[in-house]
């Protein structure tokens, strides 16, 4: 489950609510700051600056513990910072636990019935998940991603890995409610999940491919990381070097400066080069 998280979500401080009232100045600052980071072409600058905003969100959550908007922002920022920049395993476990905790608090505020069964058997969770509505989407989507990262960081715990079907079910519910939510990012993660096992072990490669293609269609080619993950997971699982190399070369030949995707695209090109360098040895 490596590289499961969307780099373009590095900072989501779109609306910060203070004392129960939305501050126009704070909201405008959040929008401007988010756009500046998403359009940054130097990931090292973002890596150095992001921890300050982790602390900022911690302080806002402490002051507004029942504000789902801020909890979602905190869960996303911690998840993506951990997935993109943290290499130390022990630290990664701490950060992923905080992200999951924030995300679960948000879903408990938005859909308390799901919160009551999420830790129980899958069969009890599924019908409640079917009651999720459009207004639950941001919390549901964020919880799925934060939980998936937590599982990735605790992959040596079989009890944790056993909850992967719950993640898949949540993402399936997201696309049922809005197929192009977050420009199809839920399809990207479903593609990755369905690429974890080869056909000989019960995997569903064609289902994975359909999800990757939907993600590409919804993003209209702006998000180059989708092609990188498509190559990394599906191309390598199926030993399809032609597809693998074609996708990665398309990433390298694409324009990286795209509003809202520049940071992600710079990182995508770096990873595409690494994957291409190992292509001959892998295949």
Q: What is the domain partition of the chain in residue ranges? A: 1-177, 179-283
Q: What is the model's pLDDT at position 184?
A: 92
Q: What is the model's pLDDT at position 34?
A: 57
**CA dihedral sign of residues 170, 176, 180, 181:** negative
Helix (H), strand (E) at residue 213: helix 205-219
Q: State mean pLDDT over 62-86.
A: 87
On the question of a common fold for 1-177 and 179-283, the answer reads yes
pLDDT confidence tier of residue 277, bands split at 50, 70 and 90: very high
Provide the token pair at 205.
């490669």
pLDDT confidence tier of residue 203, bands split at 50, 70 and 90: confident
65-75 CB burial, b ≥16 within 10 A, e <16: eebbbbbbbbb
CATH architecture of 1-177: Alpha Horseshoe (1.25)
pTM of this structure:
0.88
pLDDT confidence tier of residue 15, bands split at 50, 70 and 90: very low
Class of residue 241 by CB neighbours under 10 A (exposed 0-12, middle 13-18, buried 19+): middle
The answer as to CATH 1.10.10.350 being correct for domain 179-283 is no
Q: State mean pLDDT over 19-25.
A: 39
**CA pair distance 248, 273, nearest whole angstrom:** 8
Ramachandran assignment for 71, one of left (phi > 0), alpha (psi -120 to 50 degrees), beta (any other): alpha
**CA pair distance 266, 240, nearest whole angstrom:** 25
Check whether 104 has a pLDDT greater than 70.
yes
């Amino acid at each position: 489950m490596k590289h499961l998280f969307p780099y373009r979500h590095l900072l989501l401080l779109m609306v910060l609510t203070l004392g129960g009232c939305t501050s126009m100045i704070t909201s405008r600052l959040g929008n401007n700051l988010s756009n500046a980071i998403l359009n940054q072409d130097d990931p090292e600058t973002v890596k150095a600056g992001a921890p300050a905003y982790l602390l900022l969100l911690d302080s806002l959550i402490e002051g507004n513990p029942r504000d789902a908007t801020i909890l979602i922002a905190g869960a996303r920022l911690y998840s993506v910072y951990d997935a993109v920049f943290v290499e130390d395993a022990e630290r990664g476990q701490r950060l992923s636990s905080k992200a999951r905790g924030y995300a679960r608090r948000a879903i408990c505020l938005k859909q308390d019935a799901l919160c009551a069964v999420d830790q129980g058997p899958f069969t009890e969770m599924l019908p409640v998940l079917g009651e999720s509505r459009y207004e639950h989407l941001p919390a549901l989507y964020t919880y799925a991603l934060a939980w998936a990262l937590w599982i990735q960081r605790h992959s040596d715990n079989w009890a944790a890995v056993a909850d992967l079907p719950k993640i898949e079910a949540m993402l399936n519910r997201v696309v049922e409610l809005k197929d192009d939510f977050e420009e199809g990012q839920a399809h990207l993660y479903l593609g990755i999940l369905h690429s974890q096992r080869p056909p000989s072990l019960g995997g569903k490669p064609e289902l994975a491919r359909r999800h990757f293609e939907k993600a590409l269609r919804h993003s209209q080619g702006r998000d180059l990381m989708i092609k990188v993950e498509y190559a990394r997971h599906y191309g390598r699982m199926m030993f399809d070097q032609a597809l693998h190399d074609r996708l990665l070369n398309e990433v390298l030949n694409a324009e990286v400066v795209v509003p809202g995707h520049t940071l992600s695209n710079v990182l995508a090109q770096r990873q595409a080069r690494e994957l291409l360098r190992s292509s001959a040895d892998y295949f």
